[in-house]
Amino acid sequence: MNESLEEQLKAIYSEGSNHLREQTTKRDQVLAAYFILISFYITNLTTLKEFDSSLSLYNGLGIMIFFIGIIVCFVIVEFRVWHQIYLDALKITTYLLTHKENYQTVYDVKATIDNYYSSFKKEKFNYSKFFSGSDNKIMTALFFIVGTTIYFFNGIMRLVQAKYDSLLVIGSGLLFLLLFILQYAWRLKKARSRTPWILWGITTVFNEGLNNPYFEVKELSKAKIFLKQKTGGVILVPKYQDKFLLINIIRNGQEFLEFPRGFSEKDEPLIEAARREINEEIGIQVTRNQITNLGKLMTDSGLIEDNIECFEVILQNLDNVSLQSSEQIIGYKLLTSKKISKLINEKKIIDNFTIAGFTLSISKQKMN
């Protein structure tokens, strides 16, 4: 992982931690204000009744507390949802930083983040967690308490017999508990179905990813994009004696067996790019006389405008092989053409450039 990407992830972690603390503080302030209001009402019941013989003020304040409680429940649901959103962001950021050696580009990071949030779409909501963990218990208790404030509705309480007072209050509390748990579950599922704003700098990679020194992407329509390669690309088919050299490389967390390849630099001839790439990836220097142009390749004529050429590279020895670990090249193999054909048929070699380069090399042999 490059330094700038690592710093960006650390900044996201720091910002997420700050927001997490802010959400907790705001929640505590809202709860404190609401319970102070309830305490004031309860401790001044006698005074209110003496001051207002008609009980209109007494009933009005009771109704106000009840509806303020409903608003508080909605607010706490939002705070709890955002708390979970920031917690999820911190979890995935921690994972990425812990395994940073597996991520070379912003695209590798983006793929992991997208997979992480896609998993929530299939996840079933666990209602039992409302009764575990201090934050969930606080929220559950609030829902129940707000429901029981129906007791402050003096008019309603007089409509029921005294022996049913407790049942009405408890029933109202349980009803509120159920309704707001469902509200929280719905909001959380909706929120976790998409990547949160705090990670947009990583997942929305237009500035860095869609216009860089090597290529740019143009949106032709809502359903179609077009990629233009700014420089060239080279596919290398290294051969030592009668065998082909293929590298074992990690891409997006998966190991592939393929021929070396890479971009050319600005104004760099492709044959020089081939010499440079073979030296960078396997540590062997070659001359132009050891390189043969096998022909051009096109990735996708309908979507990509590129300039890619395939080169066969004859290696004289393998004494100085040094694999490019920064590109996650972890090994190499010398294989016969028969073995490669077998691996292609077994779908163990699936890289299109490798298959195309192998085909061009075999075709050249047959022509000669």
Among residues 205, 238, 262, the one where a domain terminates is 205
pLDDT (tens digit, 9 = 90+) per residue, 57-80?
667 777 888 889 889 989 988 888
Q: Is residue 216 part of a domain?
A: no
- Residue 285 counted as domain residue: yes
In a domain, 222, yes or no: no
Asked if 190 and 285 sit in the same domain, the reply is no
The CA angle 320-105-232, to the nearest 5 degrees, is 65
* 243-282 core/surface letters (b: 16 or more CB in 10 A; e: else): bbbbbebbeeeeebbbbbbbbbeeeeebbebbbbbbeebb
* Tens digit of each residue's pLDDT (9 = 90 or more) over 104-118: 777 778 888 888 888
Confidence category of residue 210, pLDDT binned at 50, 70, 90: low
Task: Give the residue with greater pLDDT, 332 vs 199.
Answer: 332
Higher-scoring residue by pLDDT: 299, 238: 238
Q: Do 103 and 245 belong to one domain?
A: no
Q: Clarify whether residues 187 and 238 are in a common domain.
A: no
pLDDT for 206 equals: 43
- Structure confidence by residue, pLDDT tens digits, 129-173: 767 777 778 888 888 888 887 766 655 555 555 556 677 778 878
Backbone region of residue 231 per phi and psi (left: phi > 0; alpha: psi in -120 to 50; beta: other values)? beta
Q: Are residues 197 and 237 in the same domain?
A: no
| Angle, vertex CA 120, rays to CA 116 and CA 126, nearest 5 | 135
Say if 217 falls within a structural domain.
Answer: no
Distance linking the first and last C-alpha atoms of the chain: 45
Percent of the chain with pLDDT over 70: 85
Give DSSP secondary structure letters for 117-153.
HHHHHSPPP-GGGGGSSHHHHHHHHHHHHHHHGGGG-
CA pair distance 299, 252, nearest whole angstrom: 20
Same-domain pairing of 199 and 232? no
**Angle CA(66)–CA(70)–CA(74) in degrees, nearest 5?**
165
215, part of any domain: no
Read off the pLDDT of each residue in 75-86 and give the average, rounded to a whole number: 87
User: What contacts 282, CB < 8 A, 6 or more positions away?
Assistant: 238, 245, 247, 260, 321, 322, 323, 324, 329, 332
Q: Which of 205, 239, 261 is the last residue of a domain?
A: 205
Q: Are residues 200 and 243 in the same domain?
A: no
C-alpha span between 293 and 357 (Å, rounded): 11
Asked whether the predicted pLDDT for residue 220 surpasses 60, the reply is: no
Q: Is there a single domain that holds both residue 28 and residue 138?
A: yes
Which position has the higher pLDDT, 183 or 234? 234
**β-pair partners for 215:** 229
- Residues 185 and 305 both lie in one domain: no
Residues 7 and 46 in one domain: yes
Q: Which domain does 47 fall in, by range?
A: 3-205
Indicate if 176 and 247 belong to the same structural domain.
no
The CATH code of the domain that includes 323 is 3.90.79.10
For the cut 60, the answer to whether the pLDDT of residue 23 exceeds it is yes
Nearest to 333 by CA among 352, 311, 348: 348
What is the crossing angle of helices 134-148 and 165-192, to 10°?
Answer: 140
How many structural domains are present in the chain?
2
DSSP H/E element including 239:
strand 233-240
In a domain, 100, yes or no: yes
Q: Is residue 219 part of a domain?
A: no
Domain limit, last residue, from 205, 235, 259: 205
CB 89 within 8 A of CB 200: no
pLDDT average, residue stretch 209-229: 64
SS3 309: strand
Whether 256 shows a pLDDT value over 80: the answer reads yes
- Helices 3-43 and 106-121: crossing angle in degrees, nearest 10, is 40
Indicate whether 231 belongs to any domain: yes
Which pLDDT does position 208 carry in this prediction?
A: 45
Note whether 136 and 175 are same-domain residues. yes
| Digit-coded pLDDT (tens) for 312-327 | 999 999 998 999 988 8
| Same structural domain, 19 and 156 | yes
The burial of 144, by beta-carbon neighbours within 10 Å (0-12 exposed, 13-18 middle, 19 or more buried), is given as middle
Helix axes 352-367, 337-345, angle to 10 degrees: 140
If you average pLDDT over residues 42-68, what whole number do you get?
74
